Structure 1
């Protein structure tokens, strides 16, 4: 079976529509979301409605937990995400809020397991070998060889040969064939909120061929402007209350931009 797996949608309606368009024309059997359906962008109800309509199996991310009050807003570090959560709490329908509340924090896809960020925390970031190691330990103890995770918005794969301590980081090169002697931690990236020059992306897992296809896509200029326009309409732009934290956030982004922090990636554009 072919499983389309995406993560970190963040209420981007056009990103979700791209996923659904691909699935309908590429013989995808099932679709899965690794959490953070909402947050940052302003199409929360529209996205959750489509998730439900298309029977997309999903798990909770940290943004769902923030929205539902399951974790403290003090753990949310950016002004933009805090404001988006606060506004979305007042806009989300009761039905969609109940749907999000009922989402599990883990799920299985055949012989693999899915978590939002890692096995230890909803905020865990698996972005180094040292951070990957304890997750491999849990993966092996629980009897799985493959884990899919999101949260970092960075597509990539960590692999570890069973019986060794050697961990490799693998860049996506169109199709990756999985070795039965390895353990894998696989991140599909984000289809709603890319960062650091990375693309919108998702993956297709073929459990019979034991392969991963990495797919990237772009939104049109009109679609991107529509997201920004609706965000301004729903979330507002600035206020005296928000301004100090907005300045701090823009300074942090400028620091990363000057540093030209980007990731190397390759993939197949759709």
Structure 2
């Protein structure tokens, strides 16, 4: 996918070839499921996604948020994008000493996380309908991830450095992620940044480069400051994004950030891995 989806004309051809009418089976599956987003205007969300690659305002109800927060505390994570660095939050400092590195990020990932509130979001008919209309096919659920980002004073570990530079992802010809802040995220709290419209307009050098990164000043010069959206909000604030847009994480300074990420795509090209639990052989 790396060589094909990065070039916009080939990506457009791939999207065209992979588009299929949303079939009756998918529509029947969604019937009877209650949404937690009754006020979302699906048409407006999809139109904004097509235009900007980003829609803000997919916010979690407080009961769903609280259930996910409770679930997030005792589960096992892996650190710094390395599934071999497994630990529990209560053992973070001890584990940093054990692995001899500061933890910048901690991730818990599964095809379907065993949390009723998250499973309800994964199967929410409004979210799935948004994914279906934007992808123009039956959306394939890839995985859900809960991710912490921690304040650090030292230089970033190489495995996570790229998250904090402007970059774009190439998991499929087209895919979307529903993102929900699970903690308050304001200035200095590790907000997410998106370059609106960059899913449809990239410089040739960015399409043919051997990397997917871009320098901040180059982004500002080409797209303009008005297209760079820094996303802030209280816990429960959510958005949906086409990750072919240039985007970046920012390092929190004052407090740790927790986010939930759910991915839907046209195909299952991305390699979702599940770290072995300690009791598995």
Is the structural similarity TM-score above 0.5? no
TM-score, normalised by the number of residues in structure 1? 0.28
Give the structure, 1 or 2, with the largest relative contact order (CA under 8 Å, sep 6 or more): 2
TM-score, normalised by the number of residues in structure 2? 0.28
